[in-house]
Amino acid sequence: MNVTTVLGSGSVALAYALFAARSGPVVLRCRPPSAVPAVESVPAPLLTLLLELGITPAELDVDRLFTHRLVAWEDPTPAERQSPSCAHLDRAALTAALWRRIDVEHSRRIRRECSTDEAARLVDATGRRAVTARAHARPSPAWVATCCTVARGDLDPAMRLAAAPAGYAYRLGSARWLTVGWVGPGPGPRDAAELRRRLEDSGAGWLADGVGLREDIWSRRVASLDIPAARDVIAIGDAALARDALASQGMSIGLSDARLAAGGATRHELERRQADGLERHLRSLSRILVACRYRDQPVWSAYEHWVGRQLEVAARPASGA
């Protein structure tokens, strides 16, 4: 029987393994990651996809849906904006829930930490590392999200977003957790005191009103665009295209790719979908960057220029067709 080997330990790799195990044996080459709580916004329909794997909203620390957010992007004064229905989930809770399902399947169709020698189908779901990629197109320096997550208590969990001269800040909560983050090029704040200073100095101090920032749960991850070069395996999620957090639903699209790939989509079909997704994402990101009231500041104009160059490259095949 043909064996599928998936590389990676994140949510996309685990979801792919679970979906693929329905039709044949899977080898999962990874070790369980050590994840810390961090809240992320995802489209509400993603909850339906996760229900197919038996994962309920309560397991993800989701207790409601949101259709609005408080935004200070084009103007300095925060204003309430309507948004498509979304859920705020805990990334660590999602990973833990997927691992629980992997453990159930472990003795049946999913094996871990085996060689790829027997693989008839190799899937790279190693995230931004994209271990099988030959090269990456990414801005220099990359934009990094530095996040502080604390117990939410009775604080408002709705999304808040504010542009700043050298980056942007955000805040959102799940049922139990509240995450406050700063995103900008290069190293982020080193501790909670510096994070608060960064927010206040940037005019975004209102994001942390009433929040007891501390380093108990502190995390960093790259948040800007990363385009891995083509490779000779099936790549899904961030290993195929790591979207910018500003204009993406990277987790949702990655999990959707996992389901499609596990359902038999060919590498060519996935690459066509990803190429179309890249161009759409670049156009969406460009609109967001142009709308930012700090677009003329050096860090913003440099990023906008880089995104523009990537859009030219992505659009060439279509224009030459």
- At 243-294, the pLDDT tens digits run 999 987 889 999 999 999 999 888 889 999 999 999 999 999 999 999 999 9
**What pLDDT was estimated at residue 117?**
55
pLDDT at 230 over 90: no
Closest CA to 69 of 182, 217, 198, 172: 172
Summarised one tens digit per residue, pLDDT across range 111-139 is 876 555 555 789 999 999 999 999 999 99
For the segment 186-207, the average pLDDT, to the nearest whole number, is 94
Q: Quick check: 240 and 270 in contact, CB under 8 A?
A: yes
Task: Output 105 or 266, whichever has higher pLDDT.
Answer: 266
The Cα–Cα gap between 309 and 31 comes to: 37
User: In a 10 Å sphere around its CB, with 0-12 CB exposed, 13-18 middle and 19+ buried, how is residue 221 labelled?
Assistant: middle
For the segment 175-190, the average pLDDT, to the nearest whole number, is 95
**What pLDDT was estimated at residue 320?**
43
Q: Kindly state the greatest CA–CA separation across the chain.
A: 61
Note the pTM of the prediction, 2 decimals. Answer: 0.93
Instruction: Give the list of residues 6+ apart from residue 127 with CB closer than 8 angstroms, or none.
Output: 8, 10, 12, 237, 238, 239, 242
Dihedral (CA of 273, 93, 190, 169) sign:
positive
**What pLDDT was estimated at residue 114?**
53
**What pLDDT was estimated at residue 321?**
38
Written as six digits, the tokens of 147 are 């996040």
**Angle, nearest 10°, between helix axes 267-291 and 298-319?**
140
Summarised one tens digit per residue, pLDDT across range 84-98 is 999 999 999 999 999
Task: Output 200 or 23, whichever has higher pLDDT.
Answer: 200
Among 15-29, 113-127, 185-199, which stretch is predicted with the lowest mean pLDDT? Answer: 113-127
What is the number of alpha carbons within 13 Å of residue 291 lying toward its C-beta? 14
The Cα–Cα gap between 321 and 318 comes to: 5
